[in-house]
Structure 1
Amino acid sequence: MRRSGGMDLRRIEGKGETEAMKYEHMTEGIFLSRPNRFIAMVEAEGSQAKAHVKNTGRCRELLIPGTKVFLQKHSNPERKTKYSLIGVMKGDVMVNMDSQAPNHVVREWLEQGGIYQNPDLIAAERKYGGSRFDFYIEGDGKKAFVEVKGVTLEEEGIARFPDAPTERGVKHVKELMKCIEEGYEAYIIFVIQMKGTWRFEPNDKHHPEFGTALREAGQAGVHIQALDCKVGIDSLVIDQPVPVVLD
Structure 2
Amino acid sequence: MQFSSSLCRGQLIRRYKRFLADVIHQDSSPEAPLTIHCPNTGKMTGCAEPGWTVYFSTSDNQKRKYAHTWELVENQRGDFICVNTARANLLVGEALEQKRIPQLAQYGDIRAEVRYGNEGSRIDFLLSGGVEPVCYVEVKSVTLLDESEGEMTGQGYFPDTESLRAQKHVRELIDCVNNGHRAVLLFCVLHTGIERVSPASHLDSAYGALVAEALAAGVECLAWRADISPGGMQLVQALPFDMHVNNGA
Work out whether the TM-score is over 0.5. yes
Deviations 1:114-157 (A, max 9, x none): 24334221111111122211110014412111100001111121
Give the 3 Å change call, closer, same or farther, for CA 196–35 of structure 1 in structure 2: closer
Q: Distance in 2 between matches of 1:60 and 1:108?
A: 27
User: Which residue among 25, 28, 52 is the counterpart of 2:9?
Assistant: 28
User: Which residue among 229, 232, 235 is the counterpart of 2:229?
Assistant: 232
**2:105 pairs with 1:120:** no
Q: Distance in 2 between matches of 1:169 and 1:37?
A: 19
CA contact (8 A) 1:117 1:140 kept: no
Structure 2 segments unaligned to the other structure (5+ residues): 147-152, 245-249
What amino acid is aligned across from residue 109 of structure 2 in structure 1? L
**2:89 pairs with 1:89:** no
**2:196 pairs with 1:199:** yes
Bigger mean CA deviation after superposition, 53-62 or 220-229: 53-62
CA-CA distance at 1:167 after TM superposition = 0.5
Match of 1:103 in 2: 89
What amino acid is aligned across from residue 123 of structure 1 in structure 2? R
Bigger mean CA deviation after superposition, 73-82 or 198-207: 73-82
Q: Distance in 2 between matches of 1:21 and 1:218?
A: 34
Match of 1:52 in 2: 37
What amino acid is aligned across from residue 188 of structure 1 in structure 2? L
CA contact (8 A) 1:218 1:224 kept: yes
Cα-Cα RMSD: 1.3
User: Which residue among 133, 136, 143 is the counterpart of 1:145?
Assistant: 136
Q: Distance in 2 between matches of 1:62 and 1:103?
A: 19
CA-CA distance at 1:230 after TM superposition = 0.1
CA contact (8 A) 1:173 1:214 kept: yes
Match of 1:5 in 2: none
CA contact (8 A) 2:15 2:21 kept: yes
- TM superposition outliers: structure 1 runs of 4+ over 4 Å: none
CA contact (8 A) 1:23 1:234 kept: no
Deviations 1:29-81 (A, max 9, x none): 11111221000011123211111001111113221111110011223332111
**2:147 pairs with 1:182:** no
What amino acid is aligned across from residue 113 of structure 2 in structure 1? E
Match of 2:57 in 1: 72
Match of 1:15 in 2: none
- Aligned residue for 2:3, secondary structure, equals strand
CA contact (8 A) 1:70 1:85 kept: yes
Structure 1-normalised TM-score? 0.88
Structure 1 segments unaligned to the other structure (5+ residues): 1-19
Bigger mean CA deviation after superposition, 220-229 or 137-146: 137-146
CA contact (8 A) 2:45 2:160 kept: no
CA contact (8 A) 1:30 1:69 kept: yes
**2:135 pairs with 1:135:** no
Task: Give the aligned length.
Answer: 228
| Percentage of matched positions with identical amino acids | 29
